[in-house]
Amino acid sequence: MRPIIAVTTDTIPDPSVNTKPNTVDIAPTMFKDTILQAGGVPIIIPYPSHPGLIDEMIAAYLPLFDGLLLPGGPDVDPTLYGEQPSQAIGETNPPRDQFELALIRATHAARKPMFGLCRGSHILNVAFGGTLYQDLATQNPAALRHLQRTSGEYPTHHVNIAANSRLQRQIGATAYVNSRHHQAVRTVGRGMRVAATALDGTIEAFESIDDDLVLGLQWHPENLWATAPEQLNIYHDFIQRTLAHRIHRQAAAPPATEQVAAEQAG
């Protein structure tokens, strides 16, 4: 059975002529298609409008999925990593930040794999105590152009993959990638190691050191695999890890009859 992959959402205005004001919770189609292509089944999990519901929603969501995918979106609130907003900070979404931080911690505690892309890698890094560049161009003027003007399905710069990283086993020592970000990981969080860098030194990927539960990626393989099939290997590996961890959890769980008896005795 295919593993279930939860995809968090963003909220955008809906230009409906019938309902005003109105917003919609969305996740890009490219994530749905790539998860399916790689062997998983996606489900979309929106964040609550009221922060008081975060814990309740996460408790309901967590049993439903085997792995968590955190897609791109707005900037991460810099106060979450100990900074005040600079003049170059972009739009933020505090309710989404708070929900995703809590969800990441709960998912990690449940030993379920997580995959963050672009903004998703940023909030994943912050959850483990890492920091970000609020705006790469102003804070590191020597950096390459990372917010490409070319359409997103085209690669624009190269990255070097760290030797002996899990990521290197998927795509090799170098990759030609797309780049649609103005923020970036500055220091990696606790228990993480750098897995890829751009030629200007910008961190392009990180992964957990002591297990295979965390991968953060700055680029978008979901836009590239149609012409660069090796990029799909990153998703294949994520799906296979979620399946392996599900099988492990099922093997470790007590038989249903024992669980019912324990609940009745309790």
State if pTM tops 0.75.
yes
- Domain housing 21: 4-265
Least confident of 18-32, 39-53, 81-95, 104-118: 18-32
Question: Percent of the chain beyond pLDDT 90?
Answer: 85
Query: Which pLDDT value is given to residue 253?
Result: 85
Instruction: Report which of residues 238 and 17 the model is more confident about.
Output: 238
**What's the Cα-to-Cα distance from 37 to each of 17, 90, 147, 229, 232, rounded to whole Å?**
36, 33, 27, 11, 8
Cα 35 to the center of its chain, rounded Å: 13
Q: Give 219's pLDDT tier (boundaries 50, 70, 90).
A: very high
Query: Which pLDDT value is given to residue 27?
Result: 93
What average pLDDT does this structure show over 198-207?
96
Q: Phi then psi for 215, rounded to 5 degrees?
A: -140, 125
Q: Work out whether strand 214-217 and strand 114-117 pair parallel, antiparallel, or are unpaired.
A: parallel
Instruction: Give catalytic residues, as residue numbers.
Output: 118, 220, 222
Query: Which pLDDT value is given to residue 24?
Result: 86
The partner residues of 4 in beta bridges, in order of sequence, read: 41
Q: How many domains does the chain have?
A: 1
**pLDDT at residue 194 is higher than 90:** yes
Return d(Cα 213, Cα 218) in angstroms, integer.
Answer: 17
Please choose, from the candidates 54, 71, 63, the residue with its C-alpha nearest in 3D space to the C-alpha of residue 4: 63
Return d(Cα 162, Cα 151) in angstroms, integer.
Answer: 27
**pLDDT at residue 212 is higher than 70:** yes
Return d(Cα 66, Cα 213) in angstroms, integer.
Answer: 11
Cβ pair 214, 208 in contact under 8 A: yes
Return d(Cα 186, Cα 169) in angstroms, integer.
Answer: 24
CATH number for 122 = 3.40.50.880
Query: Which pLDDT value is given to residue 152?
Result: 84
Q: Which two tokens stand for residue 107?
A: 């998912």
Query: Which pLDDT value is given to residue 177?
Result: 96
The partner residues of 175 in beta bridges, in order of sequence, read: 159
